[in-house]
Each structure stands twice: as structure tokens, then as C-alpha cells.
């Protein structure tokens, strides 16, 4: 049985509830998106991450939550984005947020489990949210599914916690990413609270081609 880190699960639940409550306030007209606590960090992070993406490619964002802010900012940069989230509640609220801000032509939100999703090969870039995966085992299963079904020349951006700054409240993917991908670059994001690992399929060893 996979070891469960209750600290990570609790932090995910706290973050989700805060984001959900803020989304509802936005939909009720009581809050603006500009008041979102981490808006500045999201804007700077997307600016850095989007430079690594194919500007003409289709993006999948895994773990978009009730406020699909990363997808909205990517849409502002000209990208078409599909979002995937296992929470039906998050999907329904997220769709209302997209509608409120007029992103329907650029963004669609899909309900589904990232471990079972079968269309990764459609996307040029896949972004895995920090909160996607409630423990190490789940995160690893998601990464393995992406690895086995993504485009051979696709790009995967994995947001991972920096242990010193997040105090173990989120899953750090660094320890097993290299089991699947070649990590081309690490970008410090969200004011150093986390980092984004820029990953591609590993180049086959010559012996594997014989």
C-alpha cells in the first residue's frame, strides 16, 4: 500500500477550499481576479513557462482546479488549452469562471483522472500542476501514464515543490522524474516556492536501436 503523507493531503485540501471559495466570490461579483492572492506569481511563472512551449501547439494543463488561472494566462499568450481535473466540482466551477471571462474559444475543461486519461498524445505541451497527485505514488502514476502515451517530441512541464520553502507540504517530483524523462532545465517559479522541470522524452541509447 502506498504511503500517505497526510501533510500533503491536508495542504491540498486547504488550497482547494480557499480557491473554491474565491472562485465563488468572483462568480458572485464580490471579488475580482486581480485580488487573487498569488496572481503576480502566476503571471511571472506563465511568462517563463510559455517561452519553452511551441507557440502553435495545443497545451494540456493537468490539475486546473476551480480557478484555471494558468490556462487563462496561457490563453492570453495566444495558446489553446485543454484542462483536466478529477474533481467534478472543480470542473463545473472552472467552466463558469471561463465563461465569465470569455475564454470559451481558447479553453475547454475536461473531467477525468489523469492516471486513466488516454489522449496525452494529442498535445504538444503537457503541464502538471503542483497540486496534481495527493501523494508520491499518485504523482508517479500520472507521470508514468504521460510518459507511455505522450507525443515522442512533446514537452512536459512539471511543477514541483522546493522542499526548503514548502516544508514538505507538496509532492517533490525531482526524485523520480529522471526515471521517465530527460530533464532539460529547471526554472525557479512562484517566487522560488516551487520550480518547473522542463522535460522531454530521453534520447534512445544506441544499443536500444540495434
Q: CA geometry: angle at 56 spanning 85 and 144, to 5°?
A: 40
Mean pLDDT of all residues in 23-46: 96
Rounded to whole angstroms, the Cα distance separating 135 from 89 reads 21
Proportion of the chain above pLDDT 70, given as a percent? 85
**Is pLDDT above 60 for 159?**
yes
Report residue 179's pLDDT band, with 50, 70 and 90 as the boundaries: confident
Residue 10: predicted pLDDT = 61
Tell me the whole-structure pTM to 2 decimals: 0.89
Q: Centre a 10 Å sphere on the Cβ of residue 152 and count the other Cβ atoms it contains.
A: 7
Residue 209: predicted pLDDT = 38
Q: CA geometry: angle at 12 spanning 10 and 18, to 5°?
A: 105
- List the domain boundaries for the chain: 6-162+179-201
* Beta-bridge partners for 182: 200
Rounded to whole angstroms, the Cα distance separating 107 from 105 reads 6
Report residue 171's pLDDT band, with 50, 70 and 90 as the boundaries: low
Q: List, for residues 110-149, the tens digit of each pLDDT value.
A: 999 999 999 999 999 999 998 888 778 888 899 999 999 9
The fold of 6-162+179-201 is Rossmann fold (3.40.50)
Rounded to whole angstroms, the Cα distance separating 86 from 76 reads 25
Give the CB-side neighbour count of residue 188, counting CA atoms within 13 A.
6
* Beta-bridge partners for 196: 159, 187
> Across all residues in the chain, what is the average pLDDT?
88
Which helix (H) or strand (E) segment is 108 a member of? strand 107-111
Rounded to whole angstroms, the Cα distance separating 162 from 168 reads 8
Mean pLDDT of all residues in 39-63: 96
Rounded to whole angstroms, the Cα distance separating 183 from 176 reads 11
Residue 15: predicted pLDDT = 84
**Is pLDDT above 50 for 21?**
yes
Q: List, for residues 37-50, the tens digit of each pLDDT value.
A: 999 999 999 999 99
Amino acid at each position: 500500500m502506498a504511503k500517505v503523507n497526510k501533510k500533503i493531503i491536508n495542504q491540498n485540501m486547504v488550497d482547494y477550499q480557499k480557491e473554491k471559495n474565491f472562485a465563488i466570490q468572483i462568480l458572485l461579483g464580490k471579488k475580482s481576479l486581480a485580488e487573487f492572492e498569488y496572481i503576480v506569481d502566476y503571471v511571472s511563472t506563465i511568462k517563463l513557462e510559455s517561452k519553452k512551449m511551441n507557440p502553435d501547439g495545443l497545451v494540456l494543463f493537468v490539475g486546473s482546479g476551480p480557478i484555471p488561472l494558468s490556462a487563462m494566462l496561457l490563453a492570453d499568450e495566444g495558446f489553446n488549452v485543454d484542462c483536466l481535473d478529477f474533481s467534478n466540482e472543480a470542473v463545473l466551477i472552472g467552466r463558469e469562471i471561463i465563461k465569465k471571462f470569455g475564454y470559451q474559444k481558447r479553453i475547454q475543461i475536461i473531467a477525468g483522472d489523469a492516471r486513466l486519461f488516454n489522449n496525452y498524445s494529442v498535445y504538444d505541451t503537457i503541464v502538471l500542476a503542483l497540486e496534481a497527485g495527493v501523494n508520491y505514488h499518485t504523482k508517479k502514476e500520472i507521470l508514468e501514464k504521460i510518459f507511455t502515451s505522450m507525443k515522442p517530441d512533446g514537452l512536459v512541464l512539471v511543477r514541483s515543490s522546493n522542499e526548503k520553502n514548502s516544508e514538505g507540504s507538496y509532492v517533490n517530483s525531482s526524485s523520480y522524474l529522471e526515471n521517465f524523462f530527460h530533464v532539460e532545465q529547471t526554472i525557479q517559479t512562484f517566487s522560488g516556492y516551487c520550480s518547473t522541470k522542463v522535460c522531454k522524452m530521453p534520447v534512445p541509447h544506441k544499443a536500444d536501436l540495434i
